[in-house]
Amino acid sequence: MSKANRKPDPSGPPAQATSRVVAIVKLAIAGLVICAIAFTIAVVDRDGSVSETQADIFDTAFGPKPNQVRFNEALESMGHTEPQVFDLNGNNVYFSVQYEDQNPGDVMRRYQEAFVRRGLNDKVYNTLEEAAGDEGLKTRLTGGITPVKVGADRIVMGGMMTRNIALHPDDLRGDLMAVDDMELFRGHRWIEIFRQSGSDRTTVLAAWSDDDFSYEKMLPSDERLAEGRSVDPDVPSCPGCTRVNHFADKNDPGGYRSNIFVTNMGHHQMVDFYRQAMQRRGWSETEFQRAHEKIRQAVEYDGDAMEKLRFEKHERNLEIFVFPLEQGEIAVQTVLWEQLD
């Protein structure tokens, strides 16, 4: 399973092509982080609850998958609202938020106890040392959740589901370990517990997939890019671009959506395209964007590597980021959301 033990394949792709794939995969991962952050800003209501558009997947969607049901029940027992479902490159991913008065360390301990009660973990994992060995690894690969990063103000816990939905270490043996890494996993769970400096409240953000998650859909491929990804009705795809990341609220067609494209077209050409395209669709540049343009015209400064356009239309907001990649390519990310009251 370890890539370090594999010999290079002389018939594999050339170094330049491999470098491009790595760059795009990194970009897709960065997009996931951006989406998770944006979720807490644009989707979570100000009182901390999730908007009322989500499906009731706590009780019904994972009925045939007992391990996933136990994970949902554990979150529910901790006070989480029903999760909101998003489309990520044709995969279903879920988010749910909870707030606690205790410090992150105490919150982690309570969640670990909930995982034990629901049969996800065999024991409570309170430290990185406890989760670092073979026992912790087997727990993470058989439906359990252990800490992977522990700090005073931020803790991350995670786990994976394998292709055969292994629920016991014995299920990790045999031909499962011989498959390609991209086919090994079929689901993931991620829980971040953090407290901002000066705050007396701890935030718990849970993000996970169902057990049909395809990691191949996260790779750049013309055939896979077309599968399970609808055209955005409000924000056009840029000319000559390949979409590598699509993230959208499945229950609210007018809600949060993000797309990431890669292209060989010029930086300024992309900026001009989106400025004209969005204005033709009735979008207006924000007052901040207009002020920013005036400053750039009057003041020379370093920082032109990335450009951000800001538009608004009624109660909706749109930001477009254009920034360089390696080998002369550029990336374009569009982020659209509806303004909260």
In Å, what is the CA distance from 169 to each residue of 110, 157, 260, 268, 328?
Answer: 25, 20, 38, 54, 46
**Domain annotation for the chain: domains and CATH numbers:** 44-210 (no CATH), 230-338 (3.30.310)
Question: How confident is the model at residue 58, as a pLDDT?
Answer: 42
Which helix (H) or strand (E) element contains residue 27? helix 15-38
In Å, what is the CA distance from 42 to each residue of 27, 31, 46, 309?
Answer: 21, 15, 10, 18
Among 11-20, 148-157, 199-208, 278-287, name the one with the lowest average pLDDT: 11-20
Name 187's Cβ contacts closer than 8 Å, sequence gap at least 6: 68, 160, 161, 208, 209, 210, 211, 212, 213
Q: Are 193 and 185 in contact (CB under 8 A)?
A: no
Work out the average pLDDT over 275-291: 84
User: Does 2 have pLDDT greater than 80?
Assistant: no
- Of 230, 233, 231, 234, nearest to 314 by C-alpha is 234
Question: How confident is the model at residue 198, as a pLDDT?
Answer: 85
Answer positive or negative: Cα dihedral of 171, 177, 179, 181: positive
Give percent of the chain with pLDDT exceeding 90.
33
pLDDT tens track for 215-260: 878 776 544 444 444 567 888 888 888 888 888 888 876 678 888 8
- Percent of the chain as helix, strand, coil, to the nearest 5: 35, 25, 35
Q: What average pLDDT does the structure give for the chain?
A: 75
User: Does 17 have pLDDT greater than 60?
Assistant: no
Pairing of strands 202-209, 241-249: unpaired
pLDDT tens track for 297-340: 444 444 457 888 999 998 899 999 998 887 788 899 999 988 65
pLDDT tens track for 102-113: 999 999 999 999
Question: How confident is the model at residue 101, as a pLDDT?
Answer: 94
pLDDT tens track for 29-85: 444 444 544 444 344 443 444 443 343 344 444 333 467 888 999 999 999 988 889
Instruction: Tell me the three-class secondary structure of 232-294, residue by residue.
Output: CCCCCCCCCEEEEEEEEECCCCCCCEEEEEEECCCHHHHHHHHHHHHHHCCCEECHHHHHHHH
pLDDT interval class at 5 (50, 70, 90): very low
Hey, how many other C-beta atoms are within 10 angstroms of the C-beta on 301?
Answer: 7
Question: How confident is the model at residue 176, as a pLDDT?
Answer: 61
Burial class (CB in 10 A: 0-12, 13-18, 19+), 24: buried
Work out the average pLDDT over 189-195: 94
Question: Tokens 């609850």 sit at which residue?
Answer: 49
In Å, what is the CA distance from 86 to each residue of 24, 168, 250, 306?
Answer: 21, 30, 5, 27
Question: How confident is the model at residue 215, as a pLDDT?
Answer: 80
